[in-house]
Amino acid sequence: MTQESFEGLREKVEHFVKELVDKSSLDLRVQVAEPEPDNIEVSFQGFDLPLLLGHNAELLDALQYIARRAFAGAVASGIQIDFDANGYRNARKEELQLMAQKAAERVKTSKVPFVFDPMSAQDRRAIHTALVDIDGIRTESEGDGQMRRVKVLPA
C-alpha cells in the first residue's frame, strides 16, 4: 500500500469512527494517529470514557471490532487498526504479562496446568507472547468463540 493510499484509508477510518461516535450520542473526542507504518491508532477522550472502558473495555473492543470489519479488506492486507483510551491497552498488556509470569511460576513449581478465564484474542495473544521464551512451560488456546482461553502447561 502506498503512503498516499494509506493516508486516504486513515482519513476514511477517522471519518467512520467520528460518525459512529456521533450517531451513538457518546460524549467522546476521536484522535487518529499512525504510530508506525501500516498501523492506524484511534484514541478517545471525553466525558463518556468510563462507559468505553467499563466491563474490561467491552465497548472499546466492540467499536474496534466494528471498524476492523468495516475495513476488512485493508485489515486482510496487513493494516492494523487499534483502538485505545487513556493508555488502557498498555496498562492491560502489562497486567496480562504480570498474570502470565505468575501463572508460569505456578506451573513450573506445581507441574499442574493453569487455565485463564475466557478472554479476547488480543489478550490471549499477549499471554502467549509473554510466555513464549520461558523454559519449562508451553501455552495453548482451548475452547470456542467467546469461551476461548489460554492454558499454561508444563513443557
**What contacts 108, CB < 8 A, 6 or more positions away?**
136, 137, 154
What is the chain's mean pLDDT, rounded?
A: 94
Cell of 19: 460518525
Local structure of residue 12 (DSSP, 8 states): H
From start to end of the chain, where are the E strands?
Answer: 29-36, 39-45, 80-85, 114-115, 137-142, 149-154
Number of H helices, E strands in the chain: 5, 6
Residue 67 burial (CB count, 10 A): 20
Which pLDDT does position 120 carry in this prediction?
A: 87
Which pLDDT does position 47 carry in this prediction?
A: 96
Which of 6-10, 81-85, 136-140 has the lowest average pLDDT? 6-10
Length of the chain: 155
23 pLDDT exceeds 90? yes
Average pLDDT over residues 111-116: 97
Checking 101-104 for CB contacts under 8 A at 24+ apart, the result is: 101/130, 101/131, 103/131, 103/152, 104/131, 104/134, 104/137, 104/152
| pLDDT tens, residue by residue, 57-106 | 999 999 999 999 999 999 999 999 999 999 999 999 999 999 999 999 99
